[in-house]
Amino acid sequence: MAGYSIGEVEEITGVKAHVLRYWESVIPGFAPQKDMGGRRVYSQREIDIILRLKYLIGIKKFTIEGARSQIIEEATIASNDTDIFHAIHDLRSDLTTLYLTIRKYRPRQSVTQQETNEKN
- 30 located within any domain: yes
- 1 located within any domain: no
What CATH number did the domain enclosing 40 receive? 1.10.1660.10
The β-bridge relationship of strands 40-41 and 33-34 is antiparallel
Residues 97, 84: Cα–Cα separation, whole Å: 20
pLDDT in tens, 1-22: 569 999 999 999 999 999 999 9
Largest Cα–Cα separation, the chain: 51
Rounded to two decimals, what is the model's pTM? 0.70
- If one counts the domains in the chain, the total is 1
For residue 114, pLDDT over 80 is answered with: no
What does the DSSP 8-state code read for residue 109?
P
Q: Domain limits at 19? A: 6-114
Backbone angles phi, psi at 66, to 5 degrees: -65, -40
pLDDT in tens, 63-109: 999 999 999 888 877 666 677 777 887 888 888 888 888 988 887 66
First and final CA of the chain: distance in angstroms? Answer: 41
Residues 3, 90: Cα–Cα separation, whole Å: 14
- 33 located within any domain: yes
Residues 24, 31: Cα–Cα separation, whole Å: 5
